[in-house]
Amino acid sequence: MYALQQEHCLVMPAFAKIQDYELNLSNQFVNAETIAALSEYILDQTALLNEKVSK
Amino acid sequence: MKAHETADESMKNKEKVALNPDQIHIKNLTIDDCGMKDGAFATLMDALVRQGKLTSITYINNEFSQQSVDALSKILGNSAATGSQDQQFQHLECLKLGNLKSGNQNCPGRLIYELMVAVDDHCLKNPLKRLKLQELELGYGTPDFGFDPEYGYGSVHCISKQFEWNPGLLELDISHSKLLPGQLSSLMAALARQYTDAAGNSPSKMMM
């Protein structure tokens, strides 16, 4: 589980650079564990962002 | 190595990001030659379906089996939650699949057929604009479907239905796909039917 950082920012796995609404994993080997971590990051960050927007 | 050094090393491999939508919401996803397994792709799709922002998926040179089909079908049928305050929901517009494997074998045509059924089922609500099915087994005919003299076999039948049901389809790429004899002509016939004018002129006649 990722620890909450300042301003509710989480840490993103280094292999996953989301920029300008785009995620490109081309030619990067990804196993089940790294994808599980990325998916968890996406879910957590999305929840935080939705919470921020709804306030 | 001390524990805190291990933690420092771990942090070097991670990047802190601000809580910005363009670094969290994913609209365009490209996974090309990543050694991605079926279950991992499904896990990622299950996370992205909850964002409701994904408009483009490119998935090439990876594993694709039943879990991937089910997850993509969910993405294709995704819709804004009832009562949701999110006015920014976006549906999938571009799907590009190519050279997919199931284990050491080519992805079975049956799975592509199942996916195409989902594309057709959801195209009225969530129509695709671009569809690429490259180096895939499109010549699959379902046992209970068989050959349709008007549309051809299973997957080809579904693609033909796109011409009829999805006028917003701007691009279709089926290059290097294994079609059975007659299937390409069946597709062309379906395309010609769609673009035959009221006077009965087909594209070839209209160009003359």
Tens of pLDDT, residue by residue over B148-190, are: 554 445 888 899 899 999 989 999 999 998 787 778 888 888 8
Minimal Cβ distance to B34: which of A20, A21, A25: A25
Asked if pLDDT for residue B40 goes beyond 80, the answer is yes
Handedness of CA B141, B176, B168, A22 (dihedral sign): positive
Which of A8, A12, A30, A31 should we substitute to test contact with B (largest number of B Cβ atoms within 10 Å)? Answer: A30
Determine the residue of chain B that is closest to A10 in CA distance: B16
Minimal Cβ distance to A43: which of B35, B50, B53: B50
What is the spatial distance between Cα B61 and Cα B98, in angstroms, rounded to a whole number? 6
The ipTM assigned to this model is 0.82
User: pLDDT (tens digit, 9 = 90+) per residue, B70-119?
Assistant: 999 999 998 765 445 556 788 999 999 999 999 889 998 889 999 999 99
Report DSSP state, residue B80: P
Check residue A49 and give its pLDDT: 86
> Which residues, numbered 48 to 87 in chain B, qualify as contacts with chain A under a Cβ-Cβ cut-off of 8 Å?
48, 50-51, 53, 85-86
> With an 8 Å Cβ cutoff, are A23 and B46 in contact?
no
Between helix B66-76 and helix B109-122 the angle, nearest 10°, is 10
Nearest residue to B179 (alpha-carbon basis) of B171, B170, B188: B188
Contacts of A39 in chain B (CB under 8 A): 43-44, 46-47
Take residue B48 and report the two structure tokens written for it: 């992205």
What is the spatial distance between Cα B27 and Cα B90, in angstroms, rounded to a whole number? 8
> With an 8 Å Cβ cutoff, are A54 and B35 in contact?
no
Contacts of B25 in chain A (CB under 8 A): 21, 46, 49
For the CA atoms of B17, A32, B126, B61, what is the dihedral angle to 10 degrees? 110
> With an 8 Å Cβ cutoff, are B28 and A52 in contact?
no
Classified by CATH at the fold level, domain B23-80+89-207 comes out as 3.80.10
Nearest residue to B173 (alpha-carbon basis) of B95, B105, B118: B95
| Domains of chain A by residue range | 6-54
User: pLDDT (tens digit, 9 = 90+) per residue, A33-55?
Assistant: 989 999 999 999 899 888 887 77
Is the distance from CB of A16 to CB of A42 less than 8 angstroms?
no
Determine the residue of chain B that is closest to A34 in CA distance: B40
Cβ-based neighbours of B101, under 8 Å, separated by 6 or more: B62, B63, B64, B107
